[in-house]
A and B are shown apart, each in its own frame.
Chain A
Amino acid sequence: NAGVTQTPKFRILKIGQSMTLQCTQDMNHNYMYWYRQDPGMGLKLIYYSVGAGITDKGEVPNGYNVSRSTTEDFPLRLELAAPSQTSVYFCASSPTTEAYEQYFGPGTRLTVT
Chain B
Amino acid sequence: GQNIDQPTEMTATEGAIVQINCTYQTSGFNGLFWYQQHAGEAPTFLSYNVLDGLEEKGRFSSFLSRSKGYSYLLLKELQMKDSASYLCAVRDRDYQLIWGAGTKLIIKP
Q: Which A residues form the contact surface with B (CB < 8 A)? A: 40-45, 48, 58-59, 90, 97-98, 100-107
B42's contact among A59, A90, A98, by CB below 8 Å, is which?
A90
**Contact between chains at B42 and A105 (CB < 8 Å):** yes
The interface residues of chain B lying within 8 Å CB-to-CB of A40 are 8, 101
Q: A42-B100, A90-B43 are in contact. Are A101 and B48 (CB under 8 A)?
A: yes
Give chain B residues whose Cβ lies under 8 Å from the Cβ of A97: 95
Chain B residues whose CB sits within 8 angstroms of the CB of A58 once the complex forms:
96
Closest 5 CB pairs of A and B: A42-B99, A101-B45, A104-B42, A43-B99, A97-B95
Collect the chain B residues with CB atoms within 8 Å of residue A43's CB: 43, 87, 89, 97, 99
Smallest CB separation, A57 vs chain B (Å): 11
When distances are taken between beta carbons in the complex, the residues of chain B under 8 Å from A107 are 41-42
In the complex, A59 Cα to B4 Cα: how many Å? 15
- In chain B, residues 5-34, which have Cβ atoms closer than 8 Å to a Cβ of chain A? 8, 30-31, 33
Whether the pair B101, A42 counts as a contact (CB closer than 8 A) is: yes
Q: List 25 A-B contacts (CB under 8 A).
A: A41-B101, A42-B4, A42-B87, A42-B89, A42-B99, A42-B102, A43-B43, A43-B87, A43-B89, A43-B97, A43-B99, A48-B96, A59-B96, A90-B42, A97-B95, A100-B45, A100-B48, A101-B33, A101-B45, A102-B45, A102-B97, A104-B42, A104-B44, A105-B42, A107-B41
**Residue with the highest number of chain A CB atoms closer than 10 Å, among B8, B42, B95, B98:** B42
Could you say which of B43, B95, B96 has the most chain A C-beta atoms within 10 Å of its C-beta? B43
Q: Which of A43, A48, A100, A107 has the most chain B CB atoms inside 10 A of its CB? A: A43
Contacts of B97 in A (CB 8 A): 43, 45, 102
Per-position 1/0 for B34-72, Cβ under 8 A of A: 000000011111001000000000000000000000000
Q: Which residues on the A side are within 8 Å of B41 (C-beta)?
A: 106-107
Interface string of B65-109 (1 = CB under 8 A from A): 000000000000000000000010100000111111110000000
- Tell me the minimal C-beta distance from B31 to chain A in angstroms: 8
Cα(A57)–Cα(B30), bound, Å: 20
